[in-house]
């Protein structure tokens, strides 16, 4: 048996045309296009790109957006069922249950033909935001708001969450959040759902594997971890002690470090920029300033201890952005999933398109 690579570090498991990461130079491309360029498009356009492999023309995009907007509503039985979920700690548990229930109402649920998968793709992308907003409203004893088809994916999500329309900048921030979260090659949740798809299980089942894997604090759960950490630290005076105590006891600082990036995560830079703009618009940069200071203390601690620098990852400034959008931390992982769904589906379709069951070996000791 060959040498085991713990955590499969550096192991190349499959070919993909969906995204490319250069972890040394901090480059991320979806379908060959740099993330910096994609961040200025709409989430609908980027989802189309991930799923169909090309940027849509105006007509193609209109048609795709129209289909998505038409499919935003969820089955009333699903809303009744969500009332029984506990969302107070981690709303992802409710989202996971909701997707499972959705499968029961989906006439294509067990069909993994290309046509059925494309129909389910539209329904899944369209309904994730509706479900997350609905269970937030129900958890807080508020009336559930119906989707508004005149609004973009991001603006509509904030509208359904709050019951009022977001500012233009907030809507732009939400669109960017979904785009930056949409895809990241063979991260743990994507790997998990490709394994499920490789057994020729259906799309909903694969997505549930992805959701369960995203939840962990070393993956998508880190975004919630960042928000809770900002609350725990509270003031710049507490940063040094917090960081030192964590590093001394080998505890992880949420939102820092990455398996693939050995430099600044390119998504973190774009998040930092939009988080700063939203903070400025609010006229309150408390969370943003606190985060900047944490980043600086972390860097200097690493240099002083002769450790390689550990940079912010995608979850750091997205956590700051959510604080400024007044989103509670228990929604953070679910909102990450709203963005990630189009990348997840693209990977399932790629797996179905050229399948061999994924089945590695273990070394018996």
Residue from 19, 47, 65, 187 touching ligand CMC (CB under 6 A): that is 187
Residue from 138, 171, 254, 335 touching ligand CMC (CB under 6 A): that is 254
Name the closest residue to ligand CMC (Cβ): 257
Q: Is 292 in the site for ligand CMC (CB under 6 A)?
A: no
Token pair of 319, please? 């956590």
Q: Which of 153, 184, 258, 347 is catalytic?
A: 258
Concerning whether 258 is annotated as a catalytic residue, the answer is: yes
Q: Is 87 in the site for ligand CMC (CB under 6 A)?
A: no
DSSP 330: G
Size of the site for ligand CMC (CB under 6 A): 19
Rounded to 5 degrees, φ, ψ at 28 are: -135, 130
Rounded to 5 degrees, φ, ψ at 364 are: -75, 130
Q: Which of 219, 228, 246, 286 is catalytic?
A: 219
Residues 201-240 that bind ligand CMC (CB under 6 A): 218-220, 222
- 3-state secondary structure at position 307: coil
Residue from 117, 198, 313, 329 touching ligand CMC (CB under 6 A): that is 313
Write b or e for each residue in 135-166: b if 16 or more Cβ atoms lie within 10 A of its Cβ, otherwise e.
bbbbbeeeebbebeeebbbbbbbbbbbbeeeb
Concerning whether 347 is annotated as a catalytic residue, the answer is: no
In the bound state with ligand CMC, the residue whose beta carbon lies nearer, of 182 and 222, is 222
CA dihedral over 32, 51, 351, 337, signed as positive or negative: positive
Instruction: Decide: residue 365, CB within 10 A, 0-12 exposed, 13-18 middle, 19+ buried.
Output: exposed
Q: Is 255 in the site for ligand CMC (CB under 6 A)?
A: yes
Question: Do 203 and 117 form a contact (C-beta atoms < 8 A)?
Answer: yes
Residues 314-333 that bind ligand CMC (CB under 6 A): 314-315
Write b or e for each residue in 287-324: b if 16 or more Cβ atoms lie within 10 A of its Cβ, otherwise e.
bbebbbebbebbeebbeeeeeeebbbbbbbbbbbbbbb
Nearest to 183 by CA among 266, 100, 119: 266
Q: Which of 153, 315, 324, 347 is catalytic?
A: 315
Residue from 96, 194, 204, 258 touching ligand CMC (CB under 6 A): that is 258
Question: Do 70 and 64 form a contact (C-beta atoms < 8 A)?
Answer: no
Cβ at position 179, least distance to ligand CMC in Å? 15
Residue from 7, 10, 76, 141 touching ligand CMC (CB under 6 A): that is 7
Residue from 75, 165, 252, 292 touching ligand CMC (CB under 6 A): that is 252
Cβ at position 314, least distance to ligand CMC in Å? 5
Question: Do 198 and 46 form a contact (C-beta atoms < 8 A)?
Answer: no
**Among the residue ranges 47-55, 100-108, 170-178, 310-318, the one whose residues contact ligand CMC (CB under 6 A):** 310-318
In the bound state with ligand CMC, the residue whose beta carbon lies nearer, of 265 and 324, is 265
Question: Do 335 and 280 form a contact (C-beta atoms < 8 A)?
Answer: no
In the bound state with ligand CMC, the residue whose beta carbon lies nearer, of 278 and 298, is 298
Cβ at position 163, least distance to ligand CMC in Å? 29
In the bound state with ligand CMC, the residue whose beta carbon lies nearer, of 55 and 310, is 310
Rounded to 5 degrees, φ, ψ at 216 are: -60, 145
Q: Is 8 in the site for ligand CMC (CB under 6 A)?
A: no
Question: Do 3 and 361 form a contact (C-beta atoms < 8 A)?
Answer: no
Concerning whether 204 is annotated as a catalytic residue, the answer is: no
Interface with ligand CMC by CB under 6 A: which residues?
7, 187, 218-220, 222, 250, 252-259, 310, 313-315
Enzyme catalytic residues: 219, 258, 315
């Amino acid at each position: 048996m060959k040498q085991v690579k713990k955590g499969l570090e550096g192991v190349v498991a499959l070919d993909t045309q969906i995204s490319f990461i250069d972890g040394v130079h901090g480059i991320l491309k979806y379908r060959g296009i740099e993330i910096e360029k994609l961040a200025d498009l709409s989430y609908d356009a980027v989802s189309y790109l991930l799923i169909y492999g090309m940027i849509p023309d105006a007509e193609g995009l209109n048609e795709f957006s129209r289909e998505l907007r038409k499919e935003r509503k969820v089955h009333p039985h699903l809303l009744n069922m969500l009332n029984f979920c506990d969302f107070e700690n981690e709303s992802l548990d409710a989202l996971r249950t909701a997707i499972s229930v959705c499968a029961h109402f989906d006439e294509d649920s067990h069909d993994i033909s290309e046509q059925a998968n494309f129909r389910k793709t539209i329904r899944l992308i369209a309904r994730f935001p509706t479900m997350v907003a609905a269970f937030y409203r129900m958890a807080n004893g508020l009336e559930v708001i119906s989707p508004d088809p005149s609004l973009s994916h991001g603006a509509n999500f904030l509208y359904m969450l709050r019951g009022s329309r977001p500012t233009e900048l907030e809507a732009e921030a939400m669109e960017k959040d979904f785009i930056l979260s949409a895809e990241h090659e063979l991260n743990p949740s994507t790997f998990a759902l490709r394994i499920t798809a490789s057994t020729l299980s259906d799309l909903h089942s694969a997505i549930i594997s992805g959701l369960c894997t995203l939840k962990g604090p070393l993956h998508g759960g880190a975004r919630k971890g960042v928000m809770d950490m900002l609350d725990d630290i509270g003031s710049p005076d507490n940063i040094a002690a917090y960081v030192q105590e964590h590093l001394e006891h080998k505890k992880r600082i949420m939102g820092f470090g990455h398996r693939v990036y050995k430099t600044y995560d390119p998504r973190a830079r774009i998040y930092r920029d939009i988080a700063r703009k939203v903070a400025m618009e609010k006229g309150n940069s408390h969370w943003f300033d606190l985060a900047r200071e944490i980043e600086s203390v972390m860097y200097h601690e690493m240099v002083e201890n002769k450790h390689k620098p550990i940079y912010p990852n995608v979850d750091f400034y997205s956590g700051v952005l959510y604080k400024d959008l007044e989103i509670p931390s228990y929604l953070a992982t679910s909102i990450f999933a709203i963005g990630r769904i189009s990348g997840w589906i693209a990977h399932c379709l790629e797996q179905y398109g050229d399948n061999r069951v994924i089945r590695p070996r273990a070394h018996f000791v």
